[in-house]
Structure 1
Amino acid sequence: MAAVGGVVHGLLLLRMRKGGASWRGGPSDKGEKMRKMWYSFLPCLLVLQLEANPGLKVRITQKGLDYGRKIGIELLKQRVLKETFPSWSGQESFSLVKVNYTISRFKVDAVDIPETFASFIPGTGVSLSVAHASATISADWSVAAWLLSKDQGGFTLFISELFLEIVFKVSWDSTGHLSVLLHNCQLSIGSVKVQLNEGSSWIYSFLSGFLEKAIHSKLDENICLNIEYKIQMMDAQFRKQKVLSQIDAFAQIDYSLVSSPAVFKSHINLDLKGTIYPVGNHTDPPFVPAPFGLPNKGDSMLYLGVSNYFLKSATLAYYRAGIFNITISKDIATAFNLTTAILKDFVPEIALHCQTVCPVILKLMATSPPAVSLQSDTCSLWITGSVEVFAVLPNSTIQYIFAGNLTTSTRGNLTVIKQKLIISLLLKRLQFSLLRSAVGFFQISLVENFLSYALRRVVIPVINDKLGKGFPLPNLAHTTLVGPVIKMNQVRSSSS
């Protein structure tokens, strides 16, 4: 756990410093003891690093697994019907004659998988079972034997009562990618029947019995091998997927796993780093995620836990990118005519210094990363910054009017649209304190009213427009969220 790791690491250094005054023996003895201490500490530190807390949690429930099974089986049936198989040649003795044969142009005509089951195997991965499956396959055959005429034709193969159980082992690699490997494969085929469509009578005697045994043996040998190869290909695709997702020109999200997937009887948890970085700067934030858990519910297929750390890293990234620094001028203040004529209604002293109506410029700048808080059904964002107000004189020079500090409280509304988490801000409260003024002192409450109006009509819409691109959510197997429900809960610790 990153948070715990940081605390423990600090305590270890403190204890070492305290113990340093009690070393006895010569320099070599002291050095040897130091080395032994480090050798004992390093495994502990390594475990703490490997067990970093996530910024995001993904949970797939049994309901989600069942849905995935149904979709996967349908895709499997479609793929099998389009599958091509290599030709198969060999030699077999028939009475005293050696017969060369070739089986070619395999084509799956029908496949039926009436019963399938999927379940989580705690500590391992996922089990997929197929029962009472059947298939109908057509192919061509040709035979040639010494002193006997060649013959060829077609046959239909009927496979029935096929039972298959596969266990996938789910883990992760050193780069934070999901890894899937074949853990176990068990196959049982009840019946293989061959019906020849053409050929001489002696061919029927030779082929029908031989092919049934040979094909049964081939299936026993190759189905699990083929499944293992397909899973290896799937694993290779997982390793190629980018764990760093681009949000916009300012920020990226790291979706790498911070620990091996945790598999329980009713669900599987994926712990993702969930850190948002400024583009080109992947330095970790100066804070770490706190441990949190997901509600023990299974009525939805998938749960996504977004921690306070995730949003906090987002505000830090955008703060560093300057997204919260906005200059309001006549060009973007289309909601109202931003001039000294408007401003003097709130700061009458301006009329004494600006005789003619002039455009006004507001420069707002965040002075620290916005603070984020997730509580029950509430997302709050506090932005601390400064504001400078200028007038643009007729000769195009800029005249300073006043400057002050701002503290704004906003409510964050969270929605999910097209696989993206959209955050929009709504101003709740604004506080202003005057730092400098070129027009003398004035009533602060009136300036707060003016700035609140400017933020609501101009600043917040500009920020929401930039945030409107949304944060892309983890896309597992190209799924689409349907009817997402957002629930904000108090953070709590959980191991499952």
Structure 2
Amino acid sequence: MAGSGSVSFFLFLSLLLNFSTTHVNSNEQGYISFDISNKGLDFIKQFLVQMAETSLVPLDLPKIEKSKHIPLIGTVNMLISNLSINKIHVISSTVKAGDTGIVISVSGAYANMTMNWGYEYSNWWLPVPVMDSGVASIQVEGMDVGISFNLTNNQGSLMLTPLDCGCSVKDIFIKLNGGASWLYQGLIEVFEGRLTSAVENAISKKLRQGIVKLDSLLQSLPKEIPIRNIGALNVTFVGDPQLRDSSLILSINGLISAREAHAAPAYPHLFASLEHLLASIPLKDPASMVTISLHEKVLTSASSVYYDANKMHWIVDKIPEQSLLNTAGWRFIIPQLYRRYPNDDMNLNVSIYSPPHPKIDDDQIDLTIHADVVINVLNSGEVTPVACFSMIVSGSASPWISKNSLGGSIGLDEFYLSLKWSKIGNFHVNLVRVLMSTALRTVILPYINIKLARGYPLPTFHGYMLQNAKILCSDSWIKICSDVAAVKQLSIS
């Protein structure tokens, strides 16, 4: 990657932080968990309620026929048809997670309806039957809806099972357009109960159908997500979701595997149960909607996949101190290099020869990189390797989230250098080590940290993104505690 190799190489540690979803076998523990608090469940509930308000309407109800005997008039045959609920508005709603499932309750909702009405009656003293028809508007008030469902793991997918669903209506007000005045009370008496039952049954049935559709959507979600034709994120769920009084906990395996592989790498189980796993992760923030916990095995699996795909190789031909990529800059360090190739440009061929294994500690991520660095001289259009060094770099990264950006800083802890081979004779490796260590500490890492300090925008998902997020590192885990908000809402605020 000429021109950008140096930045790519020294940003490698920070790039590992981008991998925060995963891979799985059904009998393994999850390496990523999502702890959704009551605040987060309330956000999801509001989203589902808004969807229900729009998806439930228009809702057509079956026609209702009824006959009623009225003194002096006789038997009146009545019909209401084209019954349709056109609008539903929810005033108040709650959500609660418990051992038996998730319960969403709606209270005080109202609905607007329209219908056609008609009647006909005849008597021996009437020469012809009497009939009339018209339209009516209906206001449904005091509507309470309750729905409960359970979440289980069905071969790695979430299965949504309705447990109970009901709707009750307190009042119905009918406003007739046209017709005799005596008919109003008759319609109220005849149809009020049946209209109430029709509304309650239709909404309950529609909600159950909605849960079935939502379950089908969950079942159809992919279990693997490709990453740049190199690896695959297996987002298969592990174990049943854990429903508690204050949260819903979901777990996925969290490992990344090569694209062509059909199974995740065989890592030992971290914990005997999901409860043990969650108990071992401190620092949950109950004020946040969701707490995402990411184990260091996820970063390790990403590192292994990229290493196996030969993606840990860089040609470094641009650095902040460009004079170091010319033999003149080395004339006092490696004199014979300058004498043989005076004022020739150079590049560095950097190859990591074993996959890095990040370690997550308190407030930082530690990483040790083993690499070979070949010095190439660019002479008359030819690339001539002149020496190869074996390098071990140990450093740490401290990630942070500010507003809507992910940033951090990288520090150098230890630097080792040894000569593997040379085509220009022996020279003082210690001088080279001092030069490269000084360049890393004073030039290259400060340059990278300036870029990292600017931050990178957090990704959005279908118009939503993280808000007020915090990132914490502790005891092999990265934790992100965050709220979720619509992108438009954030831009306005």
With normalisation by structure 2, the TM-score equals: 0.76
Alignment of 1:348 onto 2:322: no
Would the alpha carbon gap of residues 145 and 463 (structure 1) be closer, same or farther in structure 2, given more than 3 Å must change? farther
CA offset at residue 342 of structure 1? 1.6
Match of 2:219 among 233, 239, 245: 239
Picking from 186, 189, 192, the partner of 1:209 is: 189
Give the Cα separation in 2 of the matches to 1:343 and 1:282. Answer: 50
Instruction: Give 2:421's aligned amino acid.
Output: R
Q: 1:287 to 1:51 in 2, by over 3 A?
A: closer
Query: Per the alignment, in what secondary structure is the counterpart of residue 39 of structure 2?
Result: helix
Q: CA RMSD in A?
A: 3.6
Kindly state the Cα deviation for residue 444 of structure 1 after the two structures are TM-superposed.
2.2
For residues 80-117 of structure 1, the C-alpha deviation after alignment (integer angstroms, 9 at most, x for no partner) is 5xx2132633432233647362422635456352x322
Q: C-alpha distance in 1, partners of 2:434/2:121?
A: 101
Structure 2 counterparts to residues 255-294 of structure 1, below 5 A = 255-288=235-268, 290-291=270-271, 292-293=277-278, 294=281
Work out which of the residue numbers 362, 372, 375 in structure 1 matches 2:348.
362
Q: CA deviation at 1:271?
A: 0.5
Is 1:140–1:155's contact at 8 Å kept on the other side of the alignment?
yes
* Offset, 1:130: 2.0
Aligned partners of 1:163 and 1:187 also within 8 Å: yes
Q: CA deviation at 1:313?
A: 0.8
| 1:151-162 correspondence to structure 2 within 5 Å | 151-162=132-143
Amino acid at match of 1:106: S
Q: Which of 185-194 and 446-455 deviates more?
A: 446-455
Structure 2 equivalent of residue 24 of structure 1: none
Contact 1:377 1:487 in 2 (8 A): yes
* Pair 376,413 (structure 1): closer, same or farther in 2 beyond 3 Å: closer
Counterpart amino acid of residue 339 in structure 1: N
Partner SS state of residue 286, structure 2: coil
Tell me: CA distance 1:462–1:376, structure 2 relative to 1, closer, same or farther (3 Å): closer
1:483 partnered with 2:471: no
Provide closer, same or farther for how the CA distance between residues 375 and 365 of structure 1 changes in structure 2, counting only shifts above 3 A. same
Query: Measured at CA, do residues 62 and 112 of structure 1 come closer, stay the same or move farther in structure 2, by a change above 3 Å?
Result: closer
- Kindly tell me: are residues 227 and 79 of structure 1, through their superposed partners in 2, closer, same or farther at Cα, counting changes over 3 Å? closer
Q: CA deviation at 1:118?
A: 1.3
- Measured after TM superposition, the shift of residue 54 of structure 1 is 1.0
Q: CA deviation at 1:282?
A: 4.7
Match of 2:60 among 63, 86, 94: 86
Q: Please state whether the residue corresponding to 1:483 is helix, strand or coil.
A: strand
My pick for the range that moved more, 447-456 or 315-324, is: 447-456
Deviations 1:3-30 (A, max 9, x none): xxxxxxxxxxxxxxxxxxxxxxxxxxxx
3-state SS of 1:371 partner: coil
Query: 2:449 & 2:426 partners in 1: Cα distance?
Result: 31
The residue that corresponds to 1:99 in the other structure is 77
Q: Tell me, in whole angstroms, the C-alpha distance in 2 between the residues paired with 1:190 and 1:72.
A: 24
Are 1:372 and 2:333 matched, yes or no? no
Report the counterpart of residue 186 of structure 1 in structure 2: 166
Q: What is the CA-CA distance between 1:383 and the residue it aligns to?
A: 1.0
Residue 305 of structure 1 aligns with an amino acid whose one-letter code is S
Superposed displacement of residue 358, structure 1: 1.8
Separation (CA, whole Å) in 1 of partners of 2:429 and 2:405: 40
Counterpart for residue 438 of structure 1: 423
Q: Is the 1:371–1:382 Cα contact (8 Å) retained in structure 2? A: yes
The total of aligned residue pairs comes to 434
Distance 1:249 1:464, change over 3 A: farther
Match of 2:129 among 148, 151, 162: 148
Name the CA shift for 1:92/1:186 in 2 (closer, same or farther; >3 Å).
closer
Structure 1 residues without counterparts, runs of 5 or longer: 1-47
Q: Is 2:125 the partner of 1:117?
A: no
Further displaced range: 138-147 or 415-424: 415-424
Give me the whole-angstrom Cα distance separating, in 2, the residues matched to 1:241 and 1:418. 31
Q: Residues 429 and 199 from structure 1, CA distance in 2 versus in 1: closer, same or farther, beyond 3 angstroms? A: same
CA contact (8 A) 1:324 1:463 kept: no
Q: Match of 2:109?
A: 133
Instruction: Tell me, yes or no, if the aligned pair for 1:69 and 1:118 is still in contact at 8 Å.
Output: yes
Question: What percent of counterpart residues are identical?
Answer: 19
- In structure 2, do the counterparts of structure 1 residues 320 and 335 end up closer, same or farther at CA, with 3 Å as the change threshold? farther
What letter is aligned with 1:361? N
Unaligned runs of 5+ in 2: 1-23, 123-127, 272-276, 478-493
Offset from partner CA, 1:132-164 (integer Å, 9 cap, x none): 333343433234567534422232323333332
2-structure distance, mates of 1:224, 1:275: 41
- What's the CA shift for 1:198? 2.1
Measured in 2, the distance between the counterparts of 1:144 and 1:150 equals 4
Q: Give the corresponding residue for 2:149.
A: 168
Cα deviation digits, residues 246-287 of structure 1 (max 9, x gap): 444544322221111111111111111212234444542353
| SS at 1:230 equivalent | helix
One-letter amino acid of the counterpart of residue 347, structure 2:
I
Question: What is the CA–CA distance in structure 2 between the aligned matches of 1:464 and 1:286, rounded to whole Å?
Answer: 39
Partner of 1:65: 41
Which has the larger share of strand? 2
